[in-house]
Chain A
Amino acid sequence: MSKLVRMDRTGHTTLAEWQTGDAEAVEAAVEAFRRELDRGYLAMVSTGPGHAEQVRELPVDADLVILRLPISGG
């Protein structure tokens, strides 16, 4: 089961869960993904130990997609 998770004030919120064969769930996840990107979130997936990558389209085969806010110098 793949998950789309947003890091927020509650700790994190699971926005969508899907399996690659479930077209309806994937479509809902893609919609949720785009909505969050429009709100200014950035989507990240792990690409191995100590590595992550920003994605602009929902990687349907990823186990976990994390949405984060932009960072800035303090």
Chain B
Amino acid sequence: MAVEALPEVATVHWRPRANAARLRTSGRLWTLTTVAHVVPFLAAAGALLALQPITLPVAFVCVAHAWIIPALYAQRGANVVRPRPRGDGAAERTALGLLADRVGHDARELHARTGLVPEPGRLGTWLVGEAGALLVTDRGRRVFCWCVRVNDPELPSADRIAHLLLALRADEEGFATVANLAFSGAPWRVRRRLSKTMRPALEAGAVAESSRGDHRSFTPA
């Protein structure tokens, strides 16, 4: 079915439109980048120790770098769904009612527990937050972290999610084109950096993605 492109895509006209093949390539590049950050530092640490054991402190710093740099990238990924301060209680309740009408029971329940709304898509399983979204792909073995938001910080949390959800449902690839990719890698790298309340959402996304036939269970009948 032909999908009309999101109008927001015009604001990032220089970007190639996202699709499954481009996402796979992007994911591989992220993995290569991680390897390129880790391997030289570990090799340097090993070489230093082999050549001169007294360089142990320097080797230790190298190993620390090999650990810290990928960790910072993963933290950047987890930050896209970090909860924002909540505003007026009445507005939040009103917005939540509208959002709840747009999603199925399972999604409502997961949102209540974790703050993220699951949404099955053609690219993978999305977990939509207030100012970002996680996309679980490759049967639950990879997560993409997207920074994307509605341009009004005063909106209630549920409304911010509903804005993103509607845009995602209208044009999934356009949504991924407009959003900024903050991280891609193994879900466990992001999971440990999410708040404890959000972790079940990522786990549920990975489970849904690993059994793609069950995707539609998140969507209202």
Contact pattern, B 96-118, Cβ under 8 Å of A = 1, otherwise 0: 11100010100000000000000
Chain B residues in 8 Å Cβ range of A74: 80, 131-132, 147-149, 179-180
Alpha-carbon distance A5/B87, docked complex (angstroms): 20
B162 touches A7 (CB 8 A): yes
- Main secondary structure, interface of A, reads strand
A11 touches B178 (CB 8 A): no
A71 touches B164 (CB 8 A): yes
Instruction: Tell me if B54 counts as interface (CB < 8 A to partner A).
Output: no
A12 touches B95 (CB 8 A): yes
Chain B residues in 8 Å Cβ range of A72: 8, 11, 148-149, 151, 178
Alpha-carbon distance A9/B150, docked complex (angstroms): 12
Instruction: Tell me if A57 counts as interface (CB < 8 A to partner B).
Output: no
Contact pattern, A 9-41, Cβ under 8 Å of B = 1, otherwise 0: 111100000000000000000000000000000
Nearest residue (CB) in B for A51 is B169
From A5, A68, A74, residue with most partner B Cβ within 10 Å: A74
Chain B residues in 8 Å Cβ range of A73: 12, 146-148, 178-180
Interface size on B, residues (CB 8 A): 52
Alpha-carbon distance A7/B102, docked complex (angstroms): 13
B91 touches A10 (CB 8 A): yes
B134 nearest CB across to chain A (Å): 14
Chain A residues in 8 Å Cβ range of B216: 49-50
Alpha-carbon distance A45/B4, docked complex (angstroms): 13
Chain A residues in 8 Å Cβ range of B169: 46, 50-52
Instruction: Tell me if A60 counts as interface (CB < 8 A to partner B).
Output: no
B7 touches A54 (CB 8 A): yes
Chain B residues in 8 Å Cβ range of A51: 169-170
Instruction: Tell me if B20 counts as interface (CB < 8 A to partner A).
Output: no
B167 nearest CB across to chain A (Å): 5
Chain B residues in 8 Å Cβ range of A69: 150-152, 155, 163
Which of B94, B131, B151 is the one whose CB lies under 8 Å from A10?
A: B94
Chain A residues in 8 Å Cβ range of B154: 9
Instruction: Tell me if A42 counts as interface (CB < 8 A to partner B).
Output: yes
Q: Name A's B-contacting residues (CB within 8 A).
A: 5, 7-12, 42, 44, 46, 49-54, 66, 68-74
Q: Name B's A-contacting residues (CB within 8 A).
A: 4, 6-8, 11-12, 80, 87-88, 90-98, 102, 104, 119-121, 131-132, 146-152, 154-156, 158-159, 162-164, 166-167, 169-170, 175, 178-180, 216, 219-221
**Contacts A50-B119, A52-B169, A69-B163 supplied; 13 other A-B pairs, CB < 8 Å:** A7-B163, A8-B155, A12-B159, A50-B121, A52-B166, A53-B4, A66-B98, A71-B151, A71-B163, A71-B167, A72-B11, A72-B148, A73-B180
